[in-house]
Amino acid sequence: MAIAYATSGRAGTAFFGGFLIGYFLYDLIHYGCHQWSLNWRLFKRLKRHHLAHHHAAPNRNYAVSTTFWDAIFRTKMNRSR
């Protein structure tokens, strides 16, 4: 945080804090995909998407917290597989 403040002031500190919160949430979702079985529709969809990366197509479905980036970078696995 001190480096962010020294280089960019309060804006740098806010950006760094937001980055830390975002990374924490990403890591929590990733852990949950491997360890939890929640009945939430969105979580089930993300879990199915991410576990396909580990078990069916290691060069596809990199996304953990959203499938948006896999669509943008064309790394989303086709359903036909």
Give me the helix-helix angle, 2-35 and 41-55, nearest 10°.
90
Residue 11 lies in a domain: yes
Cβ neighbours of residue 15 closer than 8 Å, sequence gap 6 or more: 4, 8
Residue 57 lies in a domain: yes
Q: Which two tokens stand for residue 24?
A: 């924490």
Chain segment 6-62, per-residue pLDDT in tens: 777 888 888 888 999 999 988 888 888 888 887 888 888 888 888 877 777 777 777
Q: Is the pLDDT of residue 80 over 70?
A: no
How far apart are the C-alpha atoms of 19 and 22, rounded to whole Å?
Answer: 5
**Side chain identity at residue 27, one-letter code:** D
Residue 77 lies in a domain: no
Residue 28 lies in a domain: yes
Q: How many domains does the chain have?
A: 1
Residue 79: the pLDDT is 63
Per-residue DSSP letter, 38: -
